[in-house]
Structure 1
């Protein structure tokens, strides 16, 4: 991964991170999920969706416009 990758979305729920990743990939943006959950205490930490830095603003716009991801956790 030669590009600089940055966090575009985070959630405490893996399914929401997976949905965000899938939506971004359907819109032509490469995305990966980074598991930041604590292995000893899984109530701490988040699942983060990272995208190339060059695609961050477009990714944030797509995520913001996606109603299913905007609900509070």
Structure 2
């Protein structure tokens, strides 16, 4: 991951990760999902990253939308 990006959330459900990524994009916050799940058995983690300058706003938006259920 490039310098200046920070992990904001970790998921086990790819759909929830995509939902948060899309919500952030619609709010003008670029986000990147890093999928570390095994492709055959679908276990593992998916990390959501945002630029560190957007971290506080992104965190607030995720909390307001009620999608923050996995671990940080």
Q: How high is the TM-score relative to the length of structure 2?
A: 0.80
Specify the alignment match of 1:70 in structure 2: 68
Structure 2: stretches of 5+ with no match in the other structure: none
After superposition, give the CA deviation of every residue in 1:38-58 in whole Å (9 maximum; x if it has no partner). 457642x21111100111011
Q: Distance in 2 between matches of 1:3 and 1:59?
A: 18
Structure 1: stretches of 5+ with no match in the other structure: none
- Give the SS at the match of 2:62: helix
